Chains A and B, each alone.
Chain A
Amino acid sequence: MDAVKEFVKQEGVIFLSYTIFLSQNLISEFTDLIEQEIEASNVSINDSINILTIFIELTQNILNYSKTKEFGSNDTKSEGLIIVGKSITNLPQYYYITSQNIVTAADKEKMLPKLEEVSRLDKNDLKKRYRELRKSGKSMHNKGAGIGFYEIAKRSNRIEFEFTKINEDKFYFQFTSFVNIKSTE
């Protein structure tokens, strides 16, 4: 508990949740909480919408990717860690949203080309690519449009991601989005 407290303080955490059973209802409760916290901090409407949208995309990713039939079993638990924090000591001030969850090797193969592409493209090309994919429906899958990482990158100033091998078939996937904020004050 003390260790968590210290971490929260150090990292400017405003929200931290480790869940084994993430659900749409929880995501919506979390979103409301973060919305209230951000509103109280004089963040512009535009920045706050970006932060909330990224939070929703990342948590719904955990919900979807973790549900890929938990590696052969009928288990549908959605395990993941999600952190929202802000740095006010450096300028520009920024919020960060970090998610970590376990994905299969097959999921990693699907995600990697998209992640590499969104890291490479500048804002204009990201917007173009997002609209192309939305129009063609080429990256559609059973749970969504497959353009979530493009949505996130469009709304971020910077992103970071990492896959860490657990075993032949499982990886930890960690993703962080940074959103610089313009204070309304």
Chain B
Amino acid sequence: MENLNIEATKYTPEIIFDKSGKLSIKGKSYPENTFEFYAPVMGWIKLYFLIDTLPKLHFSTDSLSKELTLDMEIIYFNSSSSKLFFDLFDVFEENKENFDITINWLYDEDNESAREAGEDFIEDFENLNIKLVPKQR
């Protein structure tokens, strides 16, 4: 399994999904077609959760970390990105039994609406470990 690295653009975030279990999405997120843009990300994480259950024949045998940390630091995002993040967290929640997952929701401490967005995700995903991480400017 390869690492996933997507460079930031003016309207899409930097995405680093490392098979060591360190994942991050950082920047602005308002792609024209959000679901298409994030398709490789969703594909990658689904494969990550699945890979240990697949025959080893075609994959490298180095086993993947059971511990995953996702840092989310989104400056601003459109509503379809908000839906996409919901769907992404949903995939995490489906796999929480077999993996140790932490999601850090990083936001500017003065940005109320970003904090609120994080709080909403915490309420929507009670079984996930989502932490609010305020950042000083």
Interface residues of A (CB under 8 A from B): 24, 27-29, 31-32, 44-46, 49-50, 52-53, 56-57, 60, 63, 127, 131, 134-135, 137, 140, 143-145, 147-148, 150-151, 155
Contact = CB atoms under 8 A, between A and B. Distances in A.
B108 A144 contact: no
A127 B112 CA distance: 14
Interface residue SS majority, chain A = helix
B97 interface: no
A49 B124 contact: no
Interface in B33-90: 33-34, 75-80, 82-84, 86
B124 A60 contact: no
A46 B82 contact: no
Contacts of B30: 27-28, 31, 56, 60
B114 interface: yes
A147 B83 contact: yes
A86 to B, nearest CB: 19
Closest 5 CB pairs of A and B: A145-B83, A144-B80, A151-B79, A24-B32, A28-B10
Interface string B94-118: 0000000000000010111110000
Interface residues of B, number: 27
Nearest to B79: A151
A64 to B, nearest CB: 8
Nearest to B114: A49
A27 B32 CA distance: 10
Nearest to A46: B112
Interface of B: 10-11, 30-34, 75-80, 82-84, 86, 108, 110-114, 120, 123-124, 137
Contacts of A32: 10
B34 A144 contact: yes
Contact of B83 (A49, A63, A144): A144
Contacts of B108: 45
Nearest to A154: B113
Contacts of A29: 10
Contacts of A45: 108, 110-111, 137
Contacts of B31: 24
Contacts of B124: 131, 135
A46 B117 CA distance: 12
A127 B31 CA distance: 23
Nearest to A44: B110
Contacts of B34: 144
Nearest to B81: A145
Given A60-B32, A60-B78, A145-B79, A135 B112 contact: no
Contacts of A134: 82-83, 86
Contacts of B120: 127, 131
